[in-house]
Structure 1
Amino acid sequence: MKTPKLLLLSFIVLLAACKENKETPKANSALSENEKVDAANIKSIFNTALTQGKSYEWLRELTTDIGGRMSGSPEAAKAVLWGEQVMKDAGLDSVWLQPAMVPHWIRGEKEVANYIVDGKKIDIALTALGGSIATPKEGITAEVIEVKSIEEAEKLGEKLRGKIVFFNRPFDDTLINTFSAYGGCVDQRVNGAATAGKYGAKAVLVRSMTSKIDDYPHTGTMRYGDIPESQYIPTAAISTIAAERLSIHLKEQTKIKVYFKQSCKNLPKTKSFNVIGQITGTENPEKVLVVGGHLDSWDLGDGAHDDGTGIVQSLEVLHLFKTNNIKPKNTIRVVFFMDEEQGGGGADAYAKAVKTSKEIHIGAIESDAGGHTPRGFTIDANPENTELLKSWKKLLAPYGLHDITKGGSGADISPLKSEAVTLVGYRPDSQRYFDYHHAATDTFDKVNKRELELGSASMASLIYLMDKYLYSNSPIKP
């Protein structure tokens, strides 16, 4: 005879099973006959991803065997060969490499920065920003001036001359979507040097783009804009702990001089490749649906969440189609884009090739927001197709995909934008993403296997629906 505790546990398990069955679209009497077929196929896609998925092991190989993959680096070249082989091993109908010219920036020796307060040397954890020039070999020592925005720096103007400008605007933690918080302050990282340089500043330090308070600086791209080369100045990001500490010390002791040295270098552009593979459509092979992410990453970590997860999830979409014997009407193409981080050379090369060959693209999904729990998709499409995708929420919501809204897609697929092409951004939960983004902490161990697999299945399910319904329902022909 079962004990009361075992009986209670059995009852709870039974209730949970009943609840899951009720939430499964297949059991929803409100679905049409076609929708019931779709619900069953989507359920099979999720089941396969969670029991036969390959994305996690692919990610392990990419991140631990190769690591960080900056455009133009030997690691990026290794990643291209790995991507080509893994697509061939997945049994795709065709696999090829597409040339792309990409930046080649190297970090050089480890960066150093410090200052003196009350006779004590305070070290600053910092990292050069991609595209920055080096300091002189002996480094720079100059007084620091703190600002909170590009606008504040512009108002100070000539007062910046000879100074190290410290941009210290943090994330707005009241914003639930952390990408909105990132967008609200990333301009100081991208444009800070162009602003300070034209007024004769010696260097720029920028607070890392994260809400987490730790001692890991986050790198990223910066731009000199249209200022002359003579006004280029060294630029680095400092950790949030270092930023908080420096700001406090500046309030206590208004004149602080920072010593700063980095040895990064910009080399001429070099040739790299997008890695492309596809399953050929059975009815409309000339019409293409793209799913992709970017193969390059920064060098501090292993590029796990940014964007190793997007790469392996994209390939997993095609693996899930093949494993479930889903024969797509249109060609489903996976693209591992090169150089998203430093200029978009891969995206430009792909879009140019599409235009030259006059290929018909009807849609694309990009995964470049990390490998956390799926939340939904954002849609960049004409009004009719936007509403069409929103109507699939009843099929997708049982898998946690509640947020299906109009919005942006992704940097690598956005050059494909037109009234006839439906672009989609895959959107996982964003709360932890910027803890790791562009930092040394972006490593394989930060990725949860189940969350990664759920994301692959989410993308595959939407591609399944887009392949089945999108073109026939589109009021605009490519």
Structure 2
Amino acid sequence: MKKIIILLSLSFLIFSCNQKTDKKENPKLLSKAEKTDSTHIKTIFNSALTEGKSYEWLRDLTTNIGGRLSGSPEAQKAVEWGEKLMKEVGLDSVWLQPVMVPHWVRGEKEVATYTTNGIQKNVPICALGFSVATPNSGVLAEVIEVKSLEEAKALGSKMEGKIVFFNRPFDDTLINTFKAYGGCVDQRVRGAAICGEFGAKGVIVRSMTNSIDDYPHTGTMSYGDLPTEKHIPTAAISSKAANILSDDLQKNPNLKFYFKQSCKTLPDAPSFNVVGEIKGAETPENIFVVGGHLDSWDLGEGAHDDGTGIVQSLEVAYLFKKNNIKPKNTIRIVFFMNEENGTRGAKKYAELATLHKENHIGGLESDAGGHTPRGFSIDANSVNTKLLQSWKKLLSPYGLHDLDKGGSGADISPLKGENVTLVGYRPDSQRYFDYHHTSRDTFDKVNKRELVLGSASMASIVYLMDKYLYSNSPLKP
């Protein structure tokens, strides 16, 4: 009996110590203010998951309008669609912001072939944005394979009369596939400017993806300061075709590659950013921007890039209104035009914000696809970065564990300033480059639950930013 009493006493003592330790050290325990915010965030997620509208909005945008390249009739339809939808959601004011945008058109479907060992192989290929066309008869030439811009530069005049094949793949050891993309995309953007200088006849580039498949990925390229007479046609081939071509070049270094494309650049065209807002109840002169880009490449439907960002941004406003959340500051939803090949919409928005002396205090951009939420990247001063990172205990129950310093997004980055807090929404990146800039970027590739979880995630951090970022009484642990 005595032993039992001793054991019970020890158990009680250990339990009491653990309770004291938990109260002192457990980061998951919430303050009174945090409990209130936790309840609001839970309400936001509940309403998004049960009454969200973003998935059906995305279905309408992608399947009824489709790809929305700047300057196209589809881009104009998307502007009209966005203006109408913002009004239906009941934003306090909605307007169109004029902007002139580039107008590049693809023309007829591209063709590419080569013959080796008597066998003709058809190559999945697509022109890169802003590329010139080939001659009507196409381009036929021997191929030189390189892995980098530096390797191409070293070839110098050896490129003359040849097609240069850039074949640097993603670094598959990088967990963040956007970093892998960043490590390769220079060959797509700058390859033609370098090779055209030395008289190459054309450039083909391995598609920007970590997948091995037969889908070529388009994207923008630039001739830089190269004189017009030195502009050469540039296209992307699928990753699978790149591997096969590389193997065939090892066996037959003198094989000739043929491709034909009929793309061209037309005069700049008029278009619009679509803007709507909920007026702030206390400091309406302070503005938080939430947005994505309305344009997309023409090969697919622009679902993940960036239809998901568009509908998630508007659903932030919808969730605020649905849950009767009255922001202190003005929440402005912006559908930016021309992110893909010029960022003219972003530049025009920032230009007008400066002209009208608007006080932007923060921004959130969604342009990384509609996959499972992982968190946010933060571009802010050290004080505000730490403040946002202190909200991890409120956001982590929803899978939002990543709150790291980093970039925000191409469309809101022109608003950057010492006292402007910019945030990028960051979903899981592993599947994004399966679809990015391809014909596969269609509505059916978006999961409804992942999409609305993203909307709720965005609405939650906007709720916290609006409430605390510039409050005299910031959230304390």
Q: TM-score range by the shorter chain?
A: over 0.9
1:318 aligned partner: 317
Q: How far 1:32 moved relative to its partner?
A: 1.1
Cα distance in 2 for partners of 1:231, 1:155 equals: 19
2:272 aligned partner: 273
1:56 aligned partner: 55
Equivalent position amino acid for 1:162 in 2: G
Equivalent position amino acid for 1:246 in 2: L
**TM-score, length basis structure 2:** 0.93
Cα distance in 2 for partners of 1:112, 1:177 equals: 33
Q: How far 1:421 moved relative to its partner?
A: 0.5
Q: How far does the alpha carbon of each residue in 1:331-362 deviate from its partner, in whole angstroms, 9 at most, with x for none? A: 00100000000000000110001000000011
Alignment of 1:45 onto 2:35 = no
1:381 aligned partner: 380
2:240 aligned partner: 241
Cα distance in 2 for partners of 1:241, 1:432 equals: 17
Q: How far 1:30 moved relative to its partner?
A: 2.0
Q: How far does the alpha carbon of each residue in 1:235-285 deviate from its partner, in whole angstroms, 9 at most, with x for none? A: 000001110110000001111111111000000111100000010000011
Equivalent position amino acid for 1:133 in 2: V
Cα distance in 1 for partners of 2:193, 2:98 equals: 31
Q: How far does the alpha carbon of each residue in 1:184-238 deviate from its partner, in whole angstroms, 9 at most, with x for none? A: 0000000000011111100000000001111110000000011111110000000
Cα distance in 1 for partners of 2:451, 2:69 equals: 23
1:469 aligned partner: 468
Q: How far 1:179 moved relative to its partner?
A: 0.3
1:413 aligned partner: 412
Q: Secondary structure at the match of 2:152?
A: helix
2:366 aligned partner: 367
Q: Secondary structure at the match of 2:464?
A: helix
1:176 aligned partner: 175
2:156 aligned partner: 157
Aligned pairs (5 A) from 1:138-157: 138-157=137-156
CA contact (8 A) 1:133 1:233 kept: yes
2:11 aligned partner: none
Aligned pairs (5 A) from 1:430-445: 430-445=429-444
Cα distance in 2 for partners of 1:155, 1:329 equals: 58
Cα distance in 2 for partners of 1:345, 1:384 equals: 31
Equivalent position amino acid for 2:294 in 1: L
Q: How far does the alpha carbon of each residue in 1:94-138 deviate from its partner, in whole angstroms, 9 at most, with x for none? A: 000001111000000010110111111111110000000000111
Q: How far 1:31 moved relative to its partner?
A: 1.1
Equivalent position amino acid for 2:341 in 1: Q
The answer for unaligned runs of 5 or more in structure 2 is 1-25
Cα distance in 2 for partners of 1:166, 1:124 equals: 13
Q: Secondary structure at the match of 1:472?
A: coil
Aligned pairs (5 A) from 1:337-352: 337-352=336-351
Q: CA RMSD in A?
A: 1.2
1:287 aligned partner: 286
Cα distance in 1 for partners of 2:396, 2:225 equals: 47
Q: How far does the alpha carbon of each residue in 1:288-345 deviate from its partner, in whole angstroms, 9 at most, with x for none? A: 0010000000010000000000000000000000000000000001000000000000
Q: Secondary structure at the match of 1:271?
A: strand
CA contact (8 A) 1:171 1:211 kept: yes
1:78 aligned partner: 77
1:106 aligned partner: 105
Q: How far 1:420 moved relative to its partner?
A: 1.1
Cα distance in 2 for partners of 1:373, 1:113 equals: 37
Q: Identity of counterpart residues, as a percentage?
A: 72
Alignment of 1:67 onto 2:70 = no
How many residue pairs get aligned? The number is 449
1:31 aligned partner: 30
The answer for unaligned runs of 5 or more in structure 1 is 1-26
Aligned pairs (5 A) from 1:89-238: 89-238=88-237
Q: Secondary structure at the match of 1:420?
A: coil
When residues 63 and 29 of structure 1 are mapped into structure 2, their CA distance, relative to the original with a 3 A threshold, is closer
Q: Secondary structure at the match of 1:471?
A: coil
When residues 143 and 473 of structure 1 are mapped into structure 2, their CA distance, relative to the original with a 3 A threshold, is farther
**TM-score, length basis structure 1:** 0.93
Cα distance in 2 for partners of 1:188, 1:404 equals: 31
Moved over 4 A (4+): none
Cα distance in 1 for partners of 2:250, 2:149 equals: 20
Q: Secondary structure at the match of 1:145?
A: strand
Q: How far does the alpha carbon of each residue in 1:1-38 deviate from its partner, in whole angstroms, 9 at most, with x for none? A: xxxxxxxxxxxxxxxxxxxxxxxxxx997211111110
Q: How far 1:474 moved relative to its partner?
A: 11
Q: How far 1:472 moved relative to its partner?
A: 2.2
